[in-house]
Amino acid sequence: MATFFGEVVAAPSRAGGDDDEEAAAEREETPEDREIRRELEEKREVHILWSSKLSASTGSFTDEQFPCSKFILAIGHNAVAFLSSFVLNSGCWEAIGSVKLWNEWCRTSNTTSVLPTDAFCLFYKLISDPTVLLCQCNCYVAEDQQFQWLEKVFGCMREEDLQVTILSTCPVTDYKTPESTLTLPSPFLKALKTKEFKESICCPLLEQPNIVQGLPAAVMSYCQVWQIPAVLYQCYTDVIKLDTVTIEAFKPVLSSKNLKSLVKDMSKSTEILKKLVTTNEIHNNIYT
Amino acid sequence: RVSRPEQQVRGAGASPARRRRSMAARYDRAITVFSPDGHLFQVEYAQEAVKKGSTAVGIRGLDIVVLGVERKSVAKLQEERTVRKICALDDHVCMAFAGLTADARIIINRARVECQSHKLTVEDPVTVEYITRYIASLKQRYTQSNGRRPFGISALIVGFDDDGSPRLYQTDPSGTYHSWKANVIGRNAKTVREFLEKNYTEEAIATDKEAIKLAIRALLEVVQSGGKNIELAIIRRNQPLQIFSAKDIESQVAEIEKEKEDSEKKKKKSI
């Protein structure tokens, strides 16, 4: 390689190492390295703790799969707040499990009683129809943990007649469009569905070249591979905190077939929404 | 990045600022730019910031001026004393604000210095209108400089002039000020103002006690969990600022609730 000054410098080749080099690298890993890697993997393992009530009510053992006809998953604090105020309070839901995981961004606890400001991932079951499962995921699931999360969550469900609905948010700055982002009516909903999903969707489909990332993408990929009908409603918003306008942008989803039957009583939703947002705001001292 | 005003949770209709978003987006970056239809969007957005502060109500009586505020709930480990919405500017003038706490601190400090400076220069205490005009001019200056954003607070300034007349003024982020008989700023201001328009009568402010009760009743319209979230301050003619203790407020609230019960019983009897 010649530099600007005309001297010739030996540069490392990008052609790829030959076998000798790779074997040498392998030999360099000591038992200590392996031990550290094992410990790290253990620390990053995803555990799902089902409460004992689950087996009692469905009549099956926790080791076996339980039947599930609807799985509703909310990812991110705005989607979680939406389900809390519009779905969880208008019906009788029972907390049946939680996810315990650790990564550099968050640590979830292993109890089902959590504050709205904690990081958590909880599962709820509808008492009147135990095949309806709802998951509130307010924690960050790292890339290397997503596969485990999927395997463990979907591994517990019997996937016949399963329909999956996912709600999540994404910053509007990630939305790629030929129009100027200043003219976008954010927040707005876009949908993505798997091949098997035949129901009508309540908002426009997500256009190319936009992509979905993170846990919502992992769940959609899993559902596509295993031919489970699934739909993702992604809300593009310009506010990163918990925000009532973003939460209310999810409202069209309530008219979808999966959620319509679950929402009977919306009278208290405004109150609960206000309470959730103000709980978050108490620690905000900017305004007096 | 375009700022979005805080929304109250309601069924239909977005705030006007939100509907004008597409045009607003191009004209709200720099404070000194007018939009084609004559708006200064940063000033209007500053008014939205005021709505994020808790409610403050001011009542002008005959011999008394009353300031009542909704006390914001503090975090568990936080000292309550350091969250003050009512501040004395001088012995005979005090103010309550709603909006950005830090902006309020700056304005209060400048106003306090101006009060003393005035006293030293002309050997007279400021009139309420003078100090209000000073604060309003300060706010207006920040709506016309480049690179500076407006102050995000509205203030209710109360006091007595030398001639003994009670005064209540309100300023807003644009730098306008007006004299009021009773006014309210902050969250839920609209609801409380409607209450005051209905209930501010000659009888309601006939005595000091009645004026205080009116202020508390106005706040109870919007304050959750009653008396323990209310802070009250009064100035009587030729007397310094007096801040009510929690006990006094509770007893007033109890009186008001008893009066309400009695009037409801009377209504039932007449039916």
Mean pLDDT along residues A153-177: 89
What's the pTM?
A: 0.61
Q: Render pLDDT for B64-79 as a digit per residue (tens, 0 to 9).
A: 999 999 987 777 888 8
- Residue-averaged pLDDT of chain B: 86
Residues making up chain A, counted from first to last: 288
Q: Render pLDDT for B155-175 as a digit per residue (tens, 0 to 9).
A: 999 999 999 999 999 999 999
- Chosen for mutation from B3, B4, B20, B41 (greatest number of chain A CBs closer than 10 Å) is B4
CB contact under 8 A, B7 and A245: yes
Greater pLDDT, B201 or B84: B201
Contacts of A236 in chain B (CB under 8 A): none
DSSP-assigned states of every residue in chain B:
----PPPP--SS---HHHHTHHHHHHHSSSTTPPPTTS--HHHHHHHHHHTTSPPEEEEE-SSEEEEEEEPPPPPTTS-GGG--SEEEEETTEEEEEEEBHHHHHHHHHHHHHHHHHHHHHHSSPPPHHHHHHHHHHHHHHTTTSTT-PPP-EEEEEEEE-TTS-EEEEEE-TTS-EEE-SEEEESTTHHHHHHHHHHH--TGGGSSHHHHHHHHHHHHHTT-TTGGGGEEEEEEETTS--EEPPHHHHHHHHHHHHHHHHHHHHHHHHH-
Which chain B residue has the Cα nearest residue A172? B1
pLDDT in the model for residue B94: 95
Tally Cβ neighbours within 10 Å of residue A235: 25
Question: Which of A227-236, B188-197, B218-227 comes out lowest in average pLDDT?
Answer: B218-227
pLDDT in the model for residue B152: 95
pLDDT in the model for residue B113: 98
Contacts of B52 in chain A (CB under 8 A): 287
Nearest to B4 by CA among A287, A78, A170, A243: A243
Q: Render pLDDT for A32-47 as a digit per residue (tens, 0 to 9).
A: 889 998 988 888 888 8
With 80 as the cut, is the pLDDT of residue B263 above it? yes
CB contact under 8 A, B102 and A286: yes
CB contact under 8 A, A245 and B104: no
With 70 as the cut, is the pLDDT of residue A58 above it? no
Greatest mean pLDDT among A51-60, A66-75, B127-136:
B127-136
Residues of A with CB under 8 A from a CB of B: 182-183, 185, 238-239, 244-245, 248, 270, 273-274, 282-283, 285-288
ipTM of model:
0.73
Confidence class of residue A285 from pLDDT cuts 50, 70 and 90? confident
Confidence class of residue A170 from pLDDT cuts 50, 70 and 90? very high
With 70 as the cut, is the pLDDT of residue A182 above it? no
With 50 as the cut, is the pLDDT of residue A190 above it? yes
With 80 as the cut, is the pLDDT of residue A102 above it? yes
Confidence class of residue A288 from pLDDT cuts 50, 70 and 90? confident
Extract the tokens encoding B114: 């101006």
Mean pLDDT along residues B103-108: 96
Question: Which of A40-44, A100-104, A184-188, B245-249 comes out lowest in average pLDDT?
Answer: A184-188
With 80 as the cut, is the pLDDT of residue A29 above it? no
Mean pLDDT along residues A260-286: 76
Closest Cβ opposite residue B101 in set A270, A273, A287:
A287
Which chain A residue has the Cα nearest residue B83? A288
With 60 as the cut, is the pLDDT of residue A55 above it? no
> What distance in Å separates residue B266's CA from the closest CA in chain A?
33
- Provide the percentage of residues in chain B whose pLDDT is more than 70: 88
Closest Cβ opposite residue A239 in set B4, B74, B75:
B4
With 70 as the cut, is the pLDDT of residue B6 above it? no
With 70 as the cut, is the pLDDT of residue A62 above it? no
Mean pLDDT along residues A76-87: 91
Q: How does DSSP classify residue A87? A: T
